[in-house]
Amino acid sequence: MNEAIVVSQQNVTLVGGGELGPGDLALALTHAPVLVAADSGADAALAQGYRPGAVIGDFDSLSESARAQLPPASLHHIPEQESTDFDKALRNIQAPLVLAVGFLGARVDHQLSVLNVLGRRAGSPCVLLGADEVIFAAPSQVSLPLDAGDVVSLFPMRPVTGRSTGLTWPIDGLTLAPDGRVGTSNRAEGPVTLNFDGPGMLVILPRRTLAQVIRALARP
C-alpha cells in the first residue's frame, strides 16, 4: 500500500470547489488546522487568503492562477478518471479526522457522489460541513452528547442493522436500506449511542453539533 500524500498528527481541513459558506473555511480551520485542497478547492482557499499545503486531484478545474501561486511540490496530480477528486484526496490523507468543506450545497450529482465516497470510506473519519448540518459515516459504535430535541437523521448507503439508545424511535430490530426503510428525522432525547453491525450508515446532525461530532470521531 502506498503511503498517503498527507500524513498529519492534527485534524485536516479538506476544501472543495463547491459551495463554501461565509466563515466555513475559518471555522473548519479552528478544528482542523492543516489545510488541503481537492482540485479547484485551492482556488476557493486562495480567494479567502488561505494557502493549502497540498492540492490533490485530476486538476481539470484548478485554475492557472492558483497553480502559479502554489509551490510545484504541493501539487499532487492524480490523472485517473475512475474516482472523484474528493475520493482521490480522502484516500491520500492520513490524519485523526478530515473536516471537509465546499462539498455540499452545489450540484446534486456532485453531492451524491460525495456521499457515496463517504459511505465507502467509513474507515477514514471524515465530517462534511454543510450550511445547516454535518454528515459523517458512522463507525461501528459512537456516542454523541446531544441535546433533547436535536434532529438525528440516519441514511443507509447499503443495508444496515444496529441498535440505539437515546432516540425517540429506536432502530433496534430494523434493517435500514437505501431502497427500503431509512431513518430520517429521528430525534434525540438526550445523549445518543449508536451501534451498527456493518459499515454504510450516514449520520446527519445539526451543524451546531460539529465540535461534539469531531470529539466523538477523531482517532488518537
Q: What architecture does CATH give domain 6-131?
A: 3-Layer(aba) Sandwich (3.40)
pLDDT tens track for 180-211: 999 999 999 999 999 999 999 999 999 999 99
2 pLDDT higher than 70: no
The model's confidence at residue 1, banded by pLDDT at 50, 70 and 90, is very low
Ranges for all domains in the chain classified under CATH 3.40.50.10240: 6-131
Region of residue 217 (left: phi > 0; alpha: psi -120 to 50; beta: else): alpha
Q: What is the pLDDT of residue 133?
A: 96
> Per-residue pLDDT for 28 more than 70?
yes
Chosen CATH of 141-203 out of 2.40.128.130, 3.30.365.10, 2.60.40.3500, 2.60.120.320:
2.60.120.320
Q: How confident is the model at residue 128 (pLDDT cuts 50, 70, 90)?
A: very high
**pLDDT given for residue 176 in this prediction:** 98
Mean pLDDT of all residues in 145-163: 97
**pLDDT over 70 for what percent of the chain?**
99
Higher pLDDT, 2 or 122: 122
Out of 26-35, 116-125, 144-153, 162-171, which region has the weakest mean confidence (pLDDT)?
Answer: 116-125
63-116 pLDDT, tens digit per residue, is: 999 999 999 999 999 998 889 999 999 999 999 999 999 999 878 998 999 999
Residues of the chain with CATH 2.60.120.320: 141-203
